[in-house]
Structure 1
Amino acid sequence: MIEPALPPACYTDDKWFELEQHRIFGRLWLFAGLTQQLATENSFVARELGGVPVLVQNLGGELRAFRNSCAHRGMPLQVAPCGTRRLICPYHGWAYNDDGSLRGVPNAKIYNMCDATKESIRLQSYALTTVGNFVFVNLSPNPLPIAEQFSEDLLRILREVSPYFAPDVSYTHFACNYDWKLNFENVLDWNHAQFVHSQTLAPLLQIESSGTFSAVESNQSKLFLEGSPLADIVFSGDAPLAGKVALKDVSRIGRSSMPYSARWFSSLFEEPCDRGAFFACNIFPNVNFGSIHGESFYLQQYVPTAAGRIDYHSWVFTTKLKARVPPQPHLLWGIHHAEKRVIDEDAVLLTALQKSLQAADSIGLMGDHEATLHAMGRWYMQELSEEGAA
């Protein structure tokens, strides 16, 4: 058995929340959106990341990230969570160039600005990078290389699976009353699936009598078989129980057996990338991405808004449809409905756990199989505790 690495206060106390915003979300690469949502000129996604309003927009065919705040009065330049609209403030019409510099001001004479002032005005920008179809933003003025945050195997999976994504995405977001770390620990905790999701996810998986997931036996993968692009991927094993934890080892990748049988929509797809399997990427600090048979994909992000509270963002999409098959919004709705049911099963228990931690002096024991959760907690204390930050 393992003693937990984190005290209850890390999940409930405002002091820890403020440290997280600065030392984790203000420093690491954060998922901001999918390129499918940003494919056309002036398409955008507007997010709050690390307490900062962030705008990612397609400008001149290039993705750029800015603080979603007009230089005039701080009004959000884009009010909707996503859409297509020029880079113009909706409040007083100030317009910006692709690089964030000021392009024009309606009724310019009433502001009494000199030319030098106009030329100095620009939006605050942030570092942005794409990994396949995944868009990441870093709020730090000196961002660390993304290869220091994520292993090359994880980055390779994101790149190689992206060409299979269909362009249409179903997206929703909602609030939950529990800490973001509980959600990340939950996706690392494979053992909970057969108990919490006994009627939803667990029946799709193949679980051994020992309680572990069965190894994949499918020979239909386009990604992981010998001769395929990811044949040499090393999936995450149990984390070591002691020693310093590297940041790139906090994120995890796994793959397990999922017996395949064709469903009513299977014939609509081009050949999926991973039939007979379920793979998942637990992307620290707050993203869970995975595939069911390579036919459908889920993407979850849990953005902290306060101690013990998150905004939960959920995307689902399918693999590419055959050439003459029209978009299938009803299929996306059905997949997303099933995905939300699984999320809700977790949310009921994580909300109860959050309430329990509020009055707790300590947390109970952890099993050896929860070494990955323990490693995440050790990394957290390395970075945020007074001893670790010294």
Structure 2
Amino acid sequence: MIATHSLAPECYFDEQLFLKEKTEVFEKNWIFVGFSEQLANNHDFITTQIGDKSVVVQNFGGSISALLNVCSHRKATLQTLSNGNRPLVCPYHCWSYKKDGQLSGVPLNRTDFGLDDAGKKALSLRQFALETCGRMLFVRVAKDGPTLSEFLGPYFDILEQISTSFIEPVQQDTFEWNTNWKIACETVLEVYHVTGVHPETFAKFAKAECEINFFDGHSTGNTPLHDEPKKWWNGARKHLKFEKHAYFKEYNHYFIYPNLAIGLTDGSLMSLQTYQPVTAISSKLHFQLRMMSSAENARVSDAVRAAIKANFTEFNKIILNEDKLVAESCQVNMSSNNIPGLLGKCEDRIRHFHSAWREDMQYQQES
């Protein structure tokens, strides 16, 4: 038999496995958290959840730090929004913190707390490893581990080039999926499902074939585009006055383990998605669309720009909803069947993803 077994159904709903993977998969690996331009100004911040840790990444006078987003006083959340601009001050009792996480201000300290410098230092926020790849920001919660360059290997240069090329924001949003985060990831790791799930969308956009490459838990899937979308993008680039990227052609898809997916369309548009676990059977899909920027000083009609952006924004939304529906149907059936699924050769990227997960989790599956 050519096919091999998928992960056991329990891997998609078991609470103990979910608790373990939050530390063994998410806290020990580098996790993409955003772009450097989101933190361009003093006090700019973004927040995220990595495993069990609430994390804030913030600009402190030009220096970027990743810190535990929990006040040391009474454990209130420091920055409550997903992004914004405000000093790192607790909204509950106004304790404030410096870039290294050290406690800097305590109202009524002299009369009610009596904390000296050593006492304040003992209440410092935990600081996490933060590294950049081009304009992309990654955080590692675990104290020890590989550098970001070692973790990404040959993908470091690829991501650096992507992040510095596709810089014009188009859209970003968050969808809630009633499915384990791994099932959500699997929807983008093969083209075998395209005919069944996307007959009127992706099937008319790209061919159901894929050239695959691997490195550690990461993988690439290069899929040729049909002629019609190529013609559409040729016209769109003329209207928007930018050139097709010289390196990225067709539909190039990159998966960075454990939960980052980047799709590039005809060297013009980037779709970036992360799959954040919420519970054992629910997750959040955060996505951004970005495209190549128009030539400097080029005059582009606002109406034309808006119309073109609306076209591929709506296309992206439809595809994500199609994937969501089928992923949620799979999730519903996991707990009623203890027999692992099958992975054909056309699903090698999922097999590779599962292998990395098994290694992190030290998970032994009965055949």
TM-score class, shorter-chain normalisation, is: 0.7 to 0.9
Larger strand share, 1 or 2: 2
Q: Match of 1:122, as an amino acid?
A: S
Change (3 A) 1:308 1:269: farther
Deviations 1:121-160 (A, max 9, x none): 32111001111122111010113233443231x1111011
Which residue does 2:21 correspond to in 1? Answer: 20
Residue 261 of structure 2: SS of its match in structure 1? strand
Q: Which of 202, 206, 209 is residue 212 of structure 1 equivalent to? A: 209
Residue ranges of structure 2 left out of the alignment (5+ in a row) = none
Q: Which of 135, 139, 150 is residue 137 of structure 2 equivalent to? A: 135
Which residue does 1:278 correspond to in 2? Answer: 251
How many positions carry a matched residue from both structures?
A: 353
Q: CA RMSD in A?
A: 2.4
Change (3 A) 1:335 1:35: farther
Q: Match of 2:259, as an amino acid?
A: N
Which residue does 1:62 correspond to in 2? Answer: 63
Which residue does 2:89 correspond to in 1? Answer: 88
Cα pair 1:36 1:169 within 8 Å, conserved: no
* Of 309-318 and 195-204, the range deviating more from structure 2: 195-204
Residue 359 of structure 2: SS of its match in structure 1? helix
Which residue does 1:311 correspond to in 2? Answer: 284
Q: Match of 2:30, as an amino acid?
A: W
Cα pair 1:30 1:138 within 8 Å, conserved: yes
Q: Is 1:360 matched up with 2:361?
A: no
Q: Match of 1:298, as an amino acid?
A: S
% identical equivalent positions: 27
Tell me how far apart the structure 2 counterparts of residues 139 and 298 of structure 1 sit (CA, whole Å). 26
Q: Match of 1:191, as an amino acid?
A: Y
Tell me how far apart the structure 1 counterparts of residues 294 and 89 of structure 2 sit (CA, whole Å). 36
Q: Is 1:290 matched up with 2:263?
A: yes
Deviations 1:264-292 (A, max 9, x none): 56432432315752211111111111211
State how 1:129-278 maps to structure 2 within 5 Å: 129-152=131-154, 154-168=155-169, 170-205=171-206, 207=207, 211-213=208-210, 236-237=212-213, 248-258=215-225, 259=227, 260-261=230-231, 262-264=234-236, 266-274=238-246, 277-278=250-251
Change (3 A) 1:386 1:178: closer
Q: CA deviation at 1:386?
A: 5.5
Cα pair 1:176 1:347 within 8 Å, conserved: yes
Residue ranges of structure 1 left out of the alignment (5+ in a row) = 214-234, 240-247
Q: CA deviation at 1:19?
A: 1.6
Cα pair 1:36 1:168 within 8 Å, conserved: no
Cα pair 1:296 1:318 within 8 Å, conserved: yes
Residue 223 of structure 2: SS of its match in structure 1? strand
Tell me how far apart the structure 2 counterparts of residues 276 and 289 of structure 1 sit (CA, whole Å). 14
Cα pair 2:274 2:287 within 8 Å, conserved: yes
Which residue does 1:341 correspond to in 2? Answer: 318
Residue 193 of structure 2: SS of its match in structure 1? helix
Deviations 1:97-143 (A, max 9, x none): 22222222233334322313134332111001111122111010113
Change (3 A) 1:16 1:346: same
Tell me how far apart the structure 2 counterparts of residues 266 and 75 of structure 1 sit (CA, whole Å). 51
Change (3 A) 1:343 1:376: same
Change (3 A) 1:278 1:18: same
Which residue does 1:227 correspond to in 2? Answer: none
Residue 212 of structure 2: SS of its match in structure 1? coil
Which residue does 1:125 correspond to in 2? Answer: 127
Cα pair 1:316 1:332 within 8 Å, conserved: no
Tell me how far apart the structure 1 counterparts of residues 306 and 56 of structure 2 sit (CA, whole Å). 26
Change (3 A) 1:88 1:331: farther
